[in-house]
Chain A
Amino acid sequence: MAGLQAARRAWTRACRCPAVGIAGVGMAGIGLASCSGGVLDPLGPVGRDDATLLIDATVVMLAIVVPTIMLAFWIAWRYRASNPKAEYLPYWSYSGRIEAVVWSIPVLTIMFIGGLIWIGSYRLDPFKPLPSKAPPLEVQVVSLDWKWLFIYPQQGVATVNRLVVPAGTPVHFSITSASVFNAFFVPRLGSMVYAMPGMVSQVSLEADRPGTTYGQSAHFSGDGFSDMHFQVQSVPASEFAAWVRSAKGGGPVLDRKAYAELARQSQNVKPYSYSAVDAELFGAVAMQQIPPAPGPEPGNPSHAGREVGTGGHD
């Protein structure tokens, strides 16, 4: 693994220095992307470990892929019909030794990758809690048509389309959907997980320093999907407490009635917060004690579009 570490360090360096970053096409791609706030520019440990694995797997494969591509072009050029120096072997079509090599190169590569997959899948299972002395912050996530509801059960507040987390504390997300599938994804924090109706999935993420970024839905969910992005603010612990206080200080209350209104389809919802939350709400949504969100309704203007008849069961 030492070689790998070195390669990775070289990689990181290459990405900091644009001139080297452009050296290889694949490298340039990853390099450029990692310099600018994407999944290769992580804000916390989960994103960092995911990204490391992505890069490790790429390096392992590039070690085979680059020579193979070069071999292909070299042989095609060396044995071009117009090259009189190349020997013509019209009947040569089998060599046990080459066959053995030809099978073993991919097998060995994939065994190596298989190891990465095995170790990585266990270590970075999204459902696994993060090791930490501080108890994790609980956040309940509900995907709605077409916005995100974040409930802070320990604090008793909730937000729409804004996620505020304390830096350096693991956050345990419980995720469900009130309508269709979505995926909860903050690129710079790492691992995405589906939000699914009638089920609760989990992911633990952490931002280890303050910063501002965005999250979004990574699974298409209908007409308002493109606006299902939300602000993510990682703030120092003291600031987080202040934020909770201010959220409690004013704003609407999220009871069943407010939720029913929220669950109706709407697009491009500006972030806001609720000063108090029905403590049973998340469970009731996840267990579908509250029926699934209504979907398109004839009288709801946020669902504009060419709709022909409403079909259904007749």
Chain B
Amino acid sequence: MFGKLAWSAIPFGQPIPLITSLVVILVVLGVLGLVTVKGWWTYLWREWVTSVDHKRIGIMYVLLGVVMLIRGFADAIMMRTQQAIAIGGAPGYLEPEHYNQIFSAHGTIMIFFAAMPLVIGFMNFLVPLQLGVRDVAFPTLNSVSFWLTASGALLVNVSLFVGEFARTGWLPYPPLSEVGYSPGVGVDYYLWAVQISGVGTLMTGINFVTTVLKLRCPGMSYLRMPMFTWTAFAASLLIVAVFPILTATLAMLTLDRYVGWHFFTNDAGGNPMMFMNLIWAWGHPEVYILVLPAFGIFSEIFSTFSGKPLFGYRSMVAATLFICIVAMMTWLHHFFTMGAGAAVNTAFGISTSVIAVGTGVKIYNWIFTMYGGRVRLSVPMLWSLGFIFTFIIGGMTGVMLAVPPADFLVHNSMFLVAHFHNVIIGGVVFALFAGLEFWFPKAFGFRLHEGWGRCAFWCAFVGFWVTFAPLYIVGLMGMTRRLQHVVVPDWAPWLYASVVGVAILALGAVAQVIQLVVSIRDREKLRDTTGDPWDGRSLEWATPSPPPFFNFAVMPNVEGEEAYWGIKLRAVETQQLSPEPNYQPIEMPVNSPVGFYTAFFATVFGFAMIWYIWWLAIVALIAAFAGFVVFAWRDVHEFEVPADEVARVDRARRAAREATLAQMAEEGGLP
């Protein structure tokens, strides 16, 4: 009836997961209770859960990403402290069975459920606004994507409380992940969580490729698209190209585990090497799926805060597409040590370092964007400068790893761990915090507190280096990754230093939370009435903050690069806004519960598969599919926003802009 599920699946004898689970359950119940007491259910259901508004979905993605970032950080604290305690014979406080789950969950959560949702959240919020359109190509599909991602995140977290998570690393290499060596449910949790969210990600990719190809406002030619939109487009192309590989690879491993096939087993003709090739054919492009939109965020910030257009815009577009293509030709650098031979290693070593050309070009273009500018060193700009420093070094260590004989010394070492945190934290995470600071007023109508933002930045920057510089050093001293305890006493000082770094990073996280609380408290003081708090250059700043659900009352008409900057210049020159348009009613997509509904049954399906509860899996699969069928047959897709309503919202916006214009005229105007 319940497959493998039994009371022994609950970790009663293990204080750490048990207490954590209880706390998590209490917090969740507390939140649900609060929502019930305050009577917010209807609001949440109508305005958020069933919303197909790309901005709302974007915000939910970011929220999910931030929550998972905190969860992953908790894992990181445990790993770093364990390694600092378990030296020279001391066992530490986490036995291997538990420690191995922690680093596997950490990597899985950080990549799939923190970084990806954060990046996709920004894409959701920004791309339609920057393109001057009212939504993505398939708004309901977008909601399905989000909820499937959330479903995967939920499954990973359920594994904490019911059963166990994988102990095989964030990429479950066979034969270790085959059923003979990992008989528990851990790898199955991994497989179904990643498969379900992967479907969501693939649909996001399709959605955004279509949006960029098909839905641009009049005049928005490809070479007028803002840089962030370009990078989001490139990332979406990569998603469409490589996520099917991930799905197929994990499906093969699933077949091995569930029905005894032999794709990757070490006997009966299976070939575990093939798994490594396939998973990295997805895995390396994946890191660029994360980092390209991060580059886009920095491009927007450098140009806005320097008060200048992006230097070498076309060259930036070229570099982006160059990276996008070369990223798919480098996967073998993750296993130079598998003995492929000199010719193969040479080819992949060179193709890997060639990526650094695209990245190098971008860095110089950002630097020259600041040249001749009026650089405002506000919080987003601090993150960006911190990024330049950190990312250059991460790229350099990446190229060191791309030299095969050098990689023979530091592959799978702490040096490698330091490298990828260097690029992922210094590149992706810094970008997300910079972007949060930058677009927060657009999303919520008020800015974040500047002082606490600076404090958070400095803690993160210093904390990052204090954590990871020692790891580079112990890596060169021979320390490999994923050790539950260490025996070489020389490594100890560096492992202690790294814990200090983690403590500083934790202070940064606290500062970030305080910043949010303080900003909410002082929101009236920090209010952005203009919709354009940073003197922006792309179309999202043409809308009020927060933008109305239909984004634009009339479609903007773009006449050059930097669409909104052009509109502003014209307004300043003529000392007036463009004449009031003739408002028309707008058709907007209706809300739909199908995303939530499908994801609910996908979660049940995943859980049932993990525990071998076949009847439940079949029921859930049919239910999820039925949801799609009902959705496909619905009659009402859109509703009409009356022209009066559109006019009312837009007149308020115009009034605010006119006030700004008048004030600007007093102060001497734009350059």
Contact = CB atoms under 8 A, between A and B. Distances in A.
Contacts of B223: none
B311 A191 contact: no
Given A89-B372, A312-B179, A305 B337 contact: no
Interface in A23-41: 25-26, 29-30, 32-34, 36-40
B568 interface: no
Contacts of B371: 75, 79, 89, 92
A2 to B, nearest CB: 21
Given A93-B308, A216-B480, A308-B163, A102 B361 contact: yes
Contacts of B96: 223-226, 305
A194 B412 CA distance: 11
Interface in A41-73: 47, 49-51, 53-54, 57-58, 61-62, 65, 68-69, 71-73
B4 A79 contact: no
Contacts of B367: 68, 71-72, 75
Interface residue range, chain B: 35 or more
A313 B390 CA distance: 48
Contacts of A118: 346, 349-350
A202 B339 contact: yes
Contact of B356 (A106, A188, A223, A296): A106
Contact of A221 (B176, B183, B266, B360): B176
Interface stretch (B111-119, B396-404, B651-659): B396-404
Interface in A265-287: none
Given A40-B476, A88-B671, A296 B183 contact: yes
A187 interface: yes
A199 B110 CA distance: 34
A198 B266 contact: yes
A103 B357 contact: yes
Contacts of A126: 339, 408
Given A217-B480, A311-B4, A121 B342 contact: yes
A307 B100 CA distance: 13
B353 A90 contact: no
B308 A92 contact: yes
B97 A68 contact: no
A296 B175 CA distance: 13
A166 interface: no
A124 interface: yes
A148 interface: no
A77 B307 CA distance: 15
A113 interface: yes
Given A80-B377, A90-B671, A110 B356 contact: yes
A197 to B, nearest CB: 4
B346 A122 contact: yes
A158 interface: no
A80 B375 contact: yes
A220 B476 CA distance: 18
Given A75-B371, A122-B342, A54 B315 contact: no
A81 interface: yes
Interface string A91-110: 11111001101110111011
Interface stretch (B141-149, B486-494, B522-530): B486-494
B440 interface: no
B376 A194 contact: no
B370 interface: yes
Contacts of A91: 308-309
B66 interface: no
A305 B310 CA distance: 56
Contact of B353 (A73, A117, A229): A117
A181 interface: yes
A187 B478 contact: yes
Interface in B253-298: 257-260, 266-267, 272-273
B612 interface: yes
Given A194-B335, A229-B487, A295 B181 contact: yes
Interface string B475-489: 111101111111110
Contacts of B151: none
B167 A306 contact: no
A19 interface: no
Given A25-B469, A90-B373, A121-B345, 7 more contacts: A29-B469, A29-B473, A49-B405, A68-B392, A79-B372, A181-B175, A219-B412
21 contacts: A26-B393, A30-B476, A33-B476, A37-B477, A89-B308, A92-B311, A98-B368, A102-B315, A120-B406, A121-B405, A124-B405, A127-B339, A198-B267, A216-B478, A218-B337, A218-B412, A219-B412, A220-B482, A226-B486, A304-B95, A308-B184
Interface of A: 25-26, 29-30, 32-34, 36-40, 47, 49-51, 53-54, 57-58, 61-62, 65, 68-69, 71-73, 75-76, 79-81, 86-95, 98-99, 101-103, 105-107, 109-110, 113-114, 116-118, 120-127, 179-181, 183, 185, 187-188, 190-194, 196-199, 201-202, 214, 216-226, 229, 288, 291-292, 294-296, 304-314
